[in-house]
Chains A and B, each alone.
Chain A
Amino acid sequence: MIRFVAVHKFFGALAALTDVNAEVKKGEVVVVCGPSGSGKSTLIRTVNRLEEIQSGSVLFEGRDVHGKLGGAALNHLRTRIGFVFQSFNLFPHLSALDNVMLSPMKVNGVKRSEAREAALRLLDRVGLAAKAQNYPGQLSGGQQQRVAIARALAMEPPAMLFDEPTSALDPEMVGEVLSVMRSLARDGMTMMCVTHEMNFARDVADRVWFMDAGRVLETGTPVDFFRSPQHPRAQRFLSDLHTR
């Protein structure tokens, strides 16, 4: 469903991604991990072209995201890829409900009444039906992130990307966001998650990708990755996690 083919990306002279070849299959949950600065955010942001690449291609449902696409085609493609940010990025001038309703109405042309109904259902699904009228500034971090997930789901995307969705949260709020993600995975959503939550990776992921210095070094199953990581850097990464 998401395929990286010989992807190279530079920030000036810095090679942020080097020869990335990997695939997320339909219905799969892939967890991307690796040390800070290894290129995880950059990689996941190339999938909906929030970052450009210098060579190679990223295929989503067989279409080259970085190929020759008109603006409208790219916008349409983006509606099919849900994206959840580390910093939530809710729209602070809109209530939780309006955050979720906005894009179905303005991008997909869904009628207000239908958008509202769907949004309330989604807010209920992430456990926030009671907070529909609250503004982001009145919600806790965990609540904001769950609204952000509902907002992404409102476009009914076949795949969801998460870039460290719990890293900005107080520890006691991590669980509520992860449990929403677990339920998505259980429902068969195709997911690519950058996260440091190794328990989530162990329980939910079908594959774990390990990144270091812009390269994807491992793409094993969680069992293989956690029991017998092949690459010395992955071994060091895991032992650092344990001793922390």
Chain B
Amino acid sequence: MSVLPSMIEIVRDNWLLLLVGQYPNGPLGGIAATLILSVLGIALAFPLSVVMALASLSPWRALRWPVMAMVYVTRGVPLLLIILWVYFVLPLLIGRSVPAFATMLVTLVGYEAAFLSEIVRAGIQALPTGQMDAARALGHSRLGAMRYVILPQALFNMIPSILSQFVSTIKETTLGYIINVPELTFAAGQINNRLLTKPFEVYFILAISYFVVCWTLTQAINMVERRITMRRTRDLAVSALTAIPASASGG
């Protein structure tokens, strides 16, 4: 059984390719590209998702409608098909070829924004209606109430969900393989093509790489989540109507 030694050998010979792809002689790839794609994808999707969530909760149908349509499409169509669709249609729309990385990024931003907007919307709706009532009674506009009262609370509560979506995004970047985005899976494919006889070892290394990244992040999320739960239950325990005043708060 020479699997382990040969895996170590593959990593030793190709670690740079796995980390950064062809860089600096070619485009940035490997884990670096995977992470950049995921971080940029979520970072750009997030503000878009907040706008979409607000639109989907708006009293105006003209704002609700496009967002709902987009959410239903992204829920009902496999990501791979959306990637292919953007890959072939986007160049036609703007009249010139688009790099694979940009294609993948655009697709991810739209796709993640649709999912995140549902998370944000749920977070907004989960707040007690009294919060909006109180803000409106003080004279805040709907948007002002969202900005200063509702969103700060909803987004804070949503931090764990948003981070989980980030982990999903990392896994979804693998689909960039199909349009030759030079990310981690693509790098592994290159190695495999070169070695030809070691697919098991190469893809096992790939799986471990994703697992380590995602598992680490998931552990971090669990920690954040525990903190938030702790903070929330402490607040609840103190403000609960039956609680004994002051004694529980130490305030």
A residues contacting B by CB (< 8 A) are 48, 50, 71-72, 75-76, 78-79, 81, 83, 85, 87, 89-93, 102-103, 106-108, 131, 134-144, 148, 151-152, 155, 168-170, 172-173
Whole-angstrom distance between the Cβ of A69 and the nearest chain B Cβ? 13
| Contact of A87 with B130 in the complex, beta carbons under 8 Å | yes
Beyond A89-B128, A136-B239, A151-B138, 7 additional pairs, beta carbon < 8 A: A50-B136, A81-B137, A89-B133, A91-B149, A92-B239, A138-B250, A140-B249
| Contact of B140 with A75 in the complex, beta carbons under 8 Å | yes
> Which residue of A has the minimal Cβ distance to B130?
A89
| Contact of B152 with A71 in the complex, beta carbons under 8 Å | no
CA distance A144 to B246 in the complex (A): 12
Whole-angstrom distance between the Cβ of A203 and the nearest chain B Cβ? 25
Question: Contact string, B175-216, partner A, CB cutoff 8 A, digits 1/0?
Answer: 000000000000000000000000000000000000000000
B144 at interface by CB-CB < 8 Å: yes
Of B128, B144, B243, which contacts A106 at CB under 8 A?
Answer: B144
CA distance A168 to B220 in the complex (A): 39
| Contact of B133 with A134 in the complex, beta carbons under 8 Å | no
Task: Sample 11 A-B pairs with CB under 8 A, ordered by A number.
Answer: A75-B139, A76-B139, A79-B138, A85-B133, A89-B133, A92-B239, A102-B148, A103-B139, A108-B139, A139-B249, A140-B243
| Contact of A78 with B137 in the complex, beta carbons under 8 Å | yes
Given A91-B149, A102-B148, A173-B245, does the pair A79, B134 have CB atoms closer than 8 Å? no
| Contact of A170 with B245 in the complex, beta carbons under 8 Å | yes
Whole-angstrom distance between the Cβ of B92 and the nearest chain A Cβ? 42
B238 at interface by CB-CB < 8 Å: yes
Question: Contact string, B219-247, partner A, CB cutoff 8 A, digits 1/0?
Answer: 00000000000000011101101110110
CA distance A177 to B64 in the complex (A): 43
Question: Contact string, B145-170, partner A, CB cutoff 8 A, digits 1/0?
Answer: 00011001100100000000000000
B residues contacting A by CB (< 8 A) are 128, 130-131, 133-142, 144, 148-149, 152-153, 156, 234-236, 238-239, 241-243, 245-246, 249-251
Given A92-B235, A168-B241, A173-B245, does the pair A155, B156 have CB atoms closer than 8 Å? no
| Contact of A155 with B149 in the complex, beta carbons under 8 Å | no
| Contact of B134 with A91 in the complex, beta carbons under 8 Å | yes
| Contact of B144 with A107 in the complex, beta carbons under 8 Å | yes
Given A79-B138, A103-B139, does the pair A138, B245 have CB atoms closer than 8 Å? no
Whole-angstrom distance between the Cβ of B77 and the nearest chain A Cβ? 37
Contacts of B245 in A (CB 8 A): 140-143, 170, 172-173
Whole-angstrom distance between the Cβ of A188 and the nearest chain B Cβ? 22
Which interface residue of A75, A90, A144, A152 has the most chain B CB atoms within 10 A?
A: A75
CA distance A182 to B166 in the complex (A): 54
Contacts of A90 in B (CB 8 A): 134
| Contact of A137 with B137 in the complex, beta carbons under 8 Å | no
| Contact of A78 with B139 in the complex, beta carbons under 8 Å | yes
> Which residue of A has the minimal Cβ distance to B236?
A137
CA distance A131 to B136 in the complex (A): 25
| Contact of A141 with B239 in the complex, beta carbons under 8 Å | yes
CA distance A107 to B138 in the complex (A): 8
Contacts of B153 in A (CB 8 A): 91-93
CA distance A7 to B148 in the complex (A): 34
Whole-angstrom distance between the Cβ of A178 and the nearest chain B Cβ? 16
| Contact of B140 with A106 in the complex, beta carbons under 8 Å | yes
Contacts of B234 in A (CB 8 A): 137
Given A87-B130, A93-B153, A170-B245, does the pair A48, B239 have CB atoms closer than 8 Å? no
> Which residue of A has the minimal Cβ distance to B137?
A83
| Contact of B133 with A155 in the complex, beta carbons under 8 Å | no
Of B135, B152, B238, which contacts A138 at CB under 8 A?
Answer: B238
> Which residue of B has the minimal Cβ distance to A108?
B139
> Which residue of B has the minimal Cβ distance to A168?
B241
Contacts of A131 in B (CB 8 A): 251
Whole-angstrom distance between the Cβ of A123 and the nearest chain B Cβ? 14
Of A71, A83, A151, A168, which contacts B141 at CB under 8 A?
Answer: A71
Contacts of A103 in B (CB 8 A): 138-140
CA distance A232 to B236 in the complex (A): 43
CA distance A173 to B246 in the complex (A): 12
Which interface residue of B131, B142, B149, B152 has the most chain A CB atoms within 10 A?
A: B149
